[in-house]
Amino acid sequence: MAGTITEKILAKHIVEGEAKMGCEVALKIDNTLTQDATGTMAYLQFEAIGIDRVKTQFSVSFVDHNTLQTDFKNADDHRFLESVAKRYGIYFSKPGNGICHQLFLERFAIPGNTLIGSDSHTPTAGGIGCFAMGAGGLDVACAMAGEPFRIKYPKIVGIKLTGKLNPWVSAKDVILEVLSRVDVKGNVGKVFEYFGDGVKTLSVPDRATITNMGTETGCTTSIFPSDEVTRQFLIAQGREKDFVPLVADDDAVYDEVIEIDLSSVEPMVALPHSPGLVKKVREVGPIKVDQVAIGSCTNSSLRDLKIVARILKGKTISDTLHMFISPGSRQVVEHLVNDGEYVDLVRAGARIIENACGPCIGMGCAPASGSVSVRTFNRNFEGRSGTKDAKVYLASPETAAATALTGYLTDPRDLGGDSTIELPERFIVNDNMIIKPLPEEEAKKVEIVRGPNIKPLPTFDPLSDTLKGKALIKVGDNITTDHIMPAGARVLPFRSNIPEISKFVFEAVDPDFYRKARESGGGFIIGGENYGQGSSREHAALAPKYLGVKAVVVKSFARIHLANLINFGIVPLTFRNPEDYDRIDEGDNLEIEIGDLKGACVLKNATKNITIELEHTLSEKDAEILKCGGKLPWLKSR
Ligand code: MIC
Ligand code: SF4
């Protein structure tokens, strides 16, 4: 039978369930990745499962988020992660080596494999033809223990690319174009699969920029074919043996097709505060910009920094603006140094910072009050930069660099000249910051090192049939996990300490949330559409659970957050009639009869003396997990 890439990969990995859109399937997972901010929790959970060594083909632990070491906390986490990796047969990438997704693409990703990562931008590896999904840390821990990963069999949306990008237009503009068409909500359960003649005009790093930011649509993943361009990339990385050809058949059938003529794509920009608020740079016009930041897992590849260096060479950035660059990996840096481009960047006035997530997750480089920052990143949620009233625009490296020169949002096509970048036939390969897994016998002797900030996992009781409590907070549409559980330099060091991090839940939305939740002994969260969009951080479920949140009742959920709620025993429910959202106010006393969670539920609003019908999309297994109080107790009960 003719097939899409998605169908081909999934057919080889389904171990349970029917390959039919919307049906739950369990997938064998070949590889996993974690990063430090979600990794400590994931490995604490892996330890709790009690397996002696990871059961995947290989697993990798990266350190790239929490690299600011203002006290012992982050350094202790790094040491914990390193010892866990040694103990359980996991590759460990040391802090400073680079951003997990960039490194995974360069050094690990294999076409046709399945990958889950405790980071929502894991689909970056889709640029090489890997079926890669973001997941909560507990799901990654389970996959490392050999458990399959469950998803709803996706709706496969083919994105047909034709033509070729014009000079100064690049992959970021393509994904911004996609976002302008499909927005950040309404894409749960879809896979965006790229095909068509235009695909071969895009390099693997270009493709990875597109699949990376595909995450912002809320889809399950995005994927490109593995073709001759992929083979050349793997040869250049010294990994030809990892090449597997993988293309959709000519007569493959997609559930829906979106066509993009690459030659018609223009430089685009996402306006504050959503990656889905996309306009053409020309339409927005020359707004004054105070800061430019280049980097993040979306746009920190060698290609991206080479084009920036070309634009800045021999020039000086605008006097009225500051510029940061965070390269994606040491490989990128080594090339820039060797080819003299590093000097071009430094001389132009850019502040080059560590190869890490850095400003993307509010780890330094926060913009000044009320200022405008143009960033090559993938998210511009309010406050994420560390400055609540900053206005963050998302753009391509070309647009960002052109803007750095003028001090105003600038269409890079105004620069003129040559914009083609040749990638090296052979990249400089230096894996000396990747520690390989130890042989099994040696690994068993490794002692895991824990700092005082690494607190034991909280435990939770099974759920009763009736949930009672107050509506603790009522929020609107598109609430991100950054709203629920903020990140940034102040909060991230508490990722291994749930009692402490729970004090920050909903901090920017309602600074009183923690107190209210504590005083009421928990309760409910009421929300709108696309609740929990954004990151994979399970702390956005775990910390509310710790504060006694019993159910979240919303109009619709984002995929990874929904899974995390189930994993930690918070019941995710939706309104049968979205208008009923208006019939609950903060502070109302609510009661939800959940029974065995097999069917719909009824919510009684005792304050208003009304009943409201609720629904859910829980499978039987999800219901069992919830009733046990979460996935860990459920696993133990088996
Ligand atoms: C993000 O971009 O928001 C993060 C930080 O990478 C998160 C993971 C986390 O919160 O640790 C993500 O995207 O999953
Ligand atoms: Fe890191 Fe930003 Fe990428 Fe998240 S989106 S992995 S914080 S670079």
3-state helix/strand/coil string of 19-47: CCCCCEEEECCCEEEECHHHHHHHHHHHH
Query: What percentage of the chain exceeds 90 in pLDDT?
Result: 98
The pLDDT score that the predictor gives to residue 409 is 98
Q: Which helix (H) or strand (E) is 607 found in, with range?
A: none
Q: What is residue 157's three-state secondary structure?
A: strand
Ligand 1 proximity of 535 Cβ (cutoff 6 Å): yes
Ligand 2 proximity of 215 Cβ (cutoff 6 Å): no
Strand partners, 92: 61, 435
Q: Does residue 426 have an active-site annotation? A: no
Strand partners, 474: 526
pTM over 0.85? The answer is: yes
- From start to end of 555-638, where are the E strands? 571-575, 589-593, 601-605, 610-615
Tokens of 585: 């106010």
pLDDT at 1 over 70: no
Q: Tell how far the Cα of 190 is from the centroid of ligand 2, in angstroms.
A: 22
Ligand nearest to the CA of 294: 2
The residue whose CA is least distant from atom 3 of ligand 2 is: 297
> How many other CB atoms sit within 10 Å of the CB of residue 465?
11
Per-residue pLDDT tens digits for 529-563? 999 999 999 999 999 999 999 999 999 999 999 99
pLDDT at 393 over 80: yes
Ligand 2 proximity of 99 Cβ (cutoff 6 Å): yes
Query: What are residue 311's phi and psi, to 5 degrees?
Result: -65, -35
Q: Which helix (H) or strand (E) is 235 found in, with range?
A: helix 228-236
Do residues 376 and 293 lie in contact, with contact meaning Cβ atoms separated by under 8 Å?
yes
Mean pLDDT, all residues of the chain = 97
pLDDT at 378 over 80: yes
Ligand 1 proximity of 361 Cβ (cutoff 6 Å): yes
Ligand 1 proximity of 34 Cβ (cutoff 6 Å): no
Would strands 155-162 and 190-195 be described as parallel, antiparallel, or unpaired? parallel
Report the alpha-carbon distance of residue 514 to residue 237 in Å, rounded. Answer: 48
Strand partners, 322: 291
Ligand 1 proximity of 561 Cβ (cutoff 6 Å): no
Do residues 297 and 63 lie in contact, with contact meaning Cβ atoms separated by under 8 Å?
no
Which member of 118, 296, 535, 536 is catalytic? 535
The pLDDT score that the predictor gives to residue 113 is 98
Query: What percentage of the chain exceeds 70 in pLDDT?
Result: 100
The atom number, within ligand 1, closest to the CA of 37 reads: 11
Q: Tell how far the Cα of 394 is from the centroid of ligand 2, in angstroms.
A: 14
Do residues 159 and 261 lie in contact, with contact meaning Cβ atoms separated by under 8 Å?
no
The residue whose CA is least distant from atom 7 of ligand 1 is: 535
Which member of 30, 36, 64, 139 is catalytic? 64
Three-point CA angle 12, 194, 246, nearest 5°: 40
Q: Which amino acid is at 160?
A: K
Which member of 303, 379, 384, 561 is catalytic? 379
Per-residue pLDDT tens digits for 394-423? 999 999 999 999 999 999 999 998 999 999
Do residues 568 and 630 lie in contact, with contact meaning Cβ atoms separated by under 8 Å?
yes
Q: Tell how far the Cα of 218 is from the centroid of ligand 1, in angstroms.
A: 14
Q: Tell how far the Cα of 635 is from the centroid of ligand 2, in angstroms.
A: 30
Q: Which amino acid is at 433?
A: M
Per-residue pLDDT tens digits for 251-269? 999 999 999 999 999 999 9
Q: Does residue 119 have an active-site annotation? A: yes
Query: What are residue 421's phi and psi, to 5 degrees?
Result: -120, 125
The atom number, within ligand 1, closest to the CA of 360 reads: 2
Per-residue pLDDT tens digits for 157-197? 999 999 999 999 999 999 999 999 999 999 999 999 999 99
Q: Does residue 535 have an active-site annotation? A: yes
Which member of 119, 139, 411, 580 is catalytic? 119
pLDDT at 566 over 80: yes
Three-point CA angle 213, 544, 453, nearest 5°: 90
Q: What is residue 615's three-state secondary structure?
A: strand
Ligand nearest to the CA of 484: 1
The atom number, within ligand 2, closest to the CA of 360 reads: 2
Tokens of 81: 């992660």
Q: Which residue would you say has higher pLDDT here, 486 or 2?
A: 486
Domains and CATH numbers, the chain: 5-264 (3.30.499.10), 268-414 (3.30.499.10), 466-631 (3.20.19.10)
Q: Does residue 537 have an active-site annotation? A: yes
Q: Tell how far the Cα of 2 is from the centroid of ligand 1, in angstroms.
A: 36
Per-residue pLDDT tens digits for 115-152? 999 999 999 999 999 999 999 999 999 999 999 999 99
The residue whose CA is least distant from atom 3 of ligand 1 is: 535
Which member of 537, 539, 561, 616 is catalytic? 537
The residue whose CA is least distant from atom 2 of ligand 2 is: 360
Report the alpha-carbon distance of residue 82 to residue 291 in Å, rounded. Answer: 35
The atom number, within ligand 1, closest to the CA of 215 reads: 13
pLDDT band at 2, cuts 50/70/90? Answer: confident
Q: Does residue 107 have an active-site annotation? A: no
Report the alpha-carbon distance of residue 254 to residue 158 in Å, rounded. Answer: 6
Q: Tell how far the Cα of 538 is from the centroid of ligand 1, in angstroms.
A: 10
Ligand 2 proximity of 294 Cβ (cutoff 6 Å): no
> How many other CB atoms sit within 10 Å of the CB of residue 73?
21
Ligand 2, from 33, 67, 97, 99: best to mutate by most atoms within 8 Å of Cβ? 99
Ligand nearest to the CA of 36: 1
Ligand 2 proximity of 360 Cβ (cutoff 6 Å): yes
Q: Tell how far the Cα of 254 is from the centroid of ligand 2, in angstroms.
A: 30
Report the alpha-carbon distance of residue 280 to residue 302 in Å, rounded. Answer: 25
Q: Tell how far the Cα of 555 is from the centroid of ligand 1, in angstroms.
A: 24
pLDDT at 347 over 70: yes
Distance of CA 37 to the CA centre of its chain: 12
Ligand 1 proximity of 303 Cβ (cutoff 6 Å): no
The pLDDT score that the predictor gives to residue 638 is 84
Mean pLDDT of 507-532: 98
The pLDDT score that the predictor gives to residue 529 is 98
Per-residue pLDDT tens digits for 71-100? 999 999 999 999 999 999 999 999 999 999
Report the alpha-carbon distance of residue 437 to residue 419 in Å, rounded. Answer: 41
Do residues 125 and 29 lie in contact, with contact meaning Cβ atoms separated by under 8 Å?
no
Report the alpha-carbon distance of residue 371 to residue 392 in Å, rounded. Answer: 9
The atom number, within ligand 1, closest to the CA of 482 reads: 3
